[in-house]
Structure 1
């Protein structure tokens, strides 16, 4: 057993039983020792001070301080735990020496407290570059204005707080990544913050509800939005490569949005020519479809788009299937397509509906790179079947199509299978995996022949 006590050690050695062994760890370069301490939980890093006199103050100069739920022992007394966490963090900062480049609190038992202002003020004087505050959501705290003096910030991650931009704020010149989760702030403040961060590449906005938001960020590459939005618009985002939107629309909000005469497809996707991945969840496909009366002649191409995921899509709604079709046919390098259906089985089919695929599909449509298709919650309505037929007929390198029906009736599933077996396939390798009652029926090209 190793004995690290000072009385049983000699400079440069540690005692193991009756043998003195070289203290190799203490002889490592300071930069290596700091890396070791950073990798340890903060509580264990502090405990290294008892190893020897040489280690007593080494932890106090580490540049990364991460406080999570392992920092203090968990107890069932919420008030006692809160006080213990606050006291521990304050004590560490009081004893710390030198710069702090990364500071993270990810402790869901820690609620808003006055000490947060003191911590942020301390960090603003310590060259902070990476700041994360993820506290419990029982009570929101107001972010102190000294945050906006942290001009070396490269990453900022805030949750459950209120944020007011000072009038004197000129931006974060080095900020690369920004994440807000349940942050209360007006939309104009978010827009101003984004536009005043010239190096911003990643932006995540979650549950900052009922915002009408316009995003201007010429260096932005990754965008993640989730929550209730009144309106969304992308302007000057030419470098965006990954886009994920989960949009929730209440009935009142949907009525408000549908009154708009703008083409949301163009307004949101018209300035993302370099998009590589696009994910649309909840009501966002419906949102994109509003104002889309005729998309066939729009000069918008997504030449780099390789993956599309949309859930759900109501194929009984002409505008929604038009939106999906336009996005797919404008993506010549699409490789993977994942769509979840939510079609109205009881909806009637008009004459205009019957002519949709003949009128809307370009006669020369070829999805020359599409290899994988995943279609879930397919109810077997006419336009879902026609969509599958379209994909099979214009995808010459398709390898796998997975179809998971939402209907439980075996007779209806059988009808779907019969229809699928009739469709011509542009790819000789295309196999259809029809997942029925948790086991697949594989329709390979040879089984059709």
Structure 2
């Protein structure tokens, strides 16, 4: 019994399991395991994932200590580094960042996260483009300028860009250089217009002010989430939907102004071009004292053929419902969805209109006799001045 109690079962675990254990720890604690025994002395130096942030060093002289810590972690490492994530608000001031990235490119890096944790983007080092084996790339708060020698990321499947200084042309060329890209997430203040050329793209998330986006070169899209801002588009058509997306099963549209004709026309075109959609989520918005072309109250009655059906639509979640035109869209969906299983309606309480909304929805004609209609209340009205 005594021998069993003294046996070091953890140290005898396979290397892959020890690596998994160490990657669950903050990197400072993982490095501290070197004092446990001779066997553990360099165990951390073979970790396949390194996640470094400002919690790794004390606050005094934080920049110098952080950069030294990061360099020691990299240059004492022995083996492949599959994931490297660094988050630090002074990351752009690191004099050796270019050298670090080129070192990682020789370490067979697969996943890279560069996060400056700052609202003021600065230009990213061009060495990031030397990591040709990347499968996943996340860049936050950096500007990007593609080098003339840029030949793309041939293996990249996931790309996340957030609060970067980017032109539409840079976004276009970056995406076009990723032939295997399956998921693209773009969060930014603005980006003008751009075309998405990604033959294997399946998931698209856009939270960015744009004037126009072209999606006709992404035929395999299965899920899209888009933030809509008519004011930024200045009345221009938001998105061209010239092809039918047979693979698109999930649609989420945030900030839809059903009062505004341009946005309603886009929603209309998108739904007509996605015959196999199964789940639809829309958050509405209301704007007071805005100048735009009003959508007709009976738009959905006039523009949609009487025999139109959502043949596969099963789940609809409408949030921030507050206007009569929001209600008309709900009425249209209920009338045209024969296999609908759930209609969820979240609305704002204003002047006791909550019972009116619920009563109206419950009396709308339904193509699906078994649809479950659920209501929830939101406390603050969605008014934008």
TM-score > 0.5, shorter chain as reference = yes
5+ residue gaps in structure 2? 380-385
8 Å CA contact 1:101, 1:130 repeated in 2: yes
8 Å CA contact 2:248, 2:274 repeated in 1: no
Encode CA deviations 1:337-391: one digit per residue, 9 max, x unaligned. 33333457999xxxx946645432312133344444333343452x444434333
Distance 1:67 1:35 in 2: 16
Residues 219 and 371 (structure 1), Cα distance of their counterparts in 2 relative to 1, 3 Å cut: closer
Matching residue of 1:60:
45
8 Å CA contact 1:103, 1:132 repeated in 2: yes
8 Å CA contact 1:81, 1:109 repeated in 2: no
8 Å CA contact 1:175, 1:197 repeated in 2: yes
Q: Does 1:387 align with 2:329?
A: yes
Matching residue of 2:117:
136
TM-score normalized with structure 2 length: 0.82
Encode CA deviations 1:418-442: one digit per residue, 9 max, x unaligned. 545654433333454455688xxxx
Q: How many aligned residue pairs are there?
A: 375
8 Å CA contact 2:248, 2:277 repeated in 1: no
Distance 1:38 1:404 in 2: 41
8 Å CA contact 1:367, 1:396 repeated in 2: yes
Question: Cα RMSD between the aligned structures?
Answer: 3.4
Distance 1:139 1:390 in 2: 44
What displacement does 1:87 show?
A: 2.0
Matching residue of 1:174:
155
Distance 2:265 2:31 in 1: 60
> Pick from 266, 282, 286: which aligns with 1:339?
282
Matching residue of 2:227:
246
8 Å CA contact 1:112, 1:139 repeated in 2: no
For 1:406-421, list aligned pairs within 5 A: 406=348, 408-410=350-352, 412-413=353-354, 415-416=356-357, 419-420=360-361
Question: What secondary structure is seen at the aligned counterpart in 1 of 2:93?
Answer: coil
For 1:137-286, list aligned pairs within 5 A: 137=118, 140-207=121-188, 209-248=190-229, 251=231, 253-255=232-234, 258=236, 264-265=238-239, 267-268=240-241, 270=243, 272-281=245-254
Distance 1:394 1:247 in 2: 24
Larger Rg: 1
Distance 2:72 2:284 in 1: 54
What displacement does 1:138 show?
A: 5.7
Residues 313 and 24 (structure 1), Cα distance of their counterparts in 2 relative to 1, 3 Å cut: same
For 1:260-339, list aligned pairs within 5 A: 264-265=238-239, 267-268=240-241, 270=243, 272-281=245-254, 311-314=255-258, 316-328=259-271, 330-339=273-282
Distance 2:192 2:299 in 1: 35
Worse-matched range after superposition: 205-214 or 371-380: 371-380
Matching residue of 2:302:
359
Matching residue of 2:65:
84
8 Å CA contact 2:283, 2:320 repeated in 1: yes
What displacement does 1:134 show?
A: 1.1
Distance 1:90 1:324 in 2: 50
8 Å CA contact 2:102, 2:130 repeated in 1: no
> Pick from 16, 26, 33: which aligns with 1:31?
16
Distance 1:202 1:278 in 2: 15
Distance 1:437 1:164 in 2: 43
Encode CA deviations 1:368-417: one digit per residue, 9 max, x unaligned. 44444333343452x4444343333333344443444446223x555555
TM-score normalized with structure 1 length: 0.72
Residues 362 and 119 (structure 1), Cα distance of their counterparts in 2 relative to 1, 3 Å cut: same
Distance 1:421 1:142 in 2: 54
Encode CA deviations 1:51-82: one digit per residue, 9 max, x unaligned. 12222222222222111344234x4x5xx233
Residues 19 and 161 (structure 1), Cα distance of their counterparts in 2 relative to 1, 3 Å cut: same
What displacement does 1:20 show?
A: 7.5
Distance 2:132 2:368 in 1: 55
Residues 426 and 345 (structure 1), Cα distance of their counterparts in 2 relative to 1, 3 Å cut: farther
Higher relative contact order (CA 8 A, sep 6+): 2
Distance 2:354 2:88 in 1: 49
Distance 2:362 2:228 in 1: 36
8 Å CA contact 1:111, 1:139 repeated in 2: no
Question: What secondary structure is seen at the aligned counterpart in 2 of 1:209?
Answer: strand
Matching residue of 2:383:
none
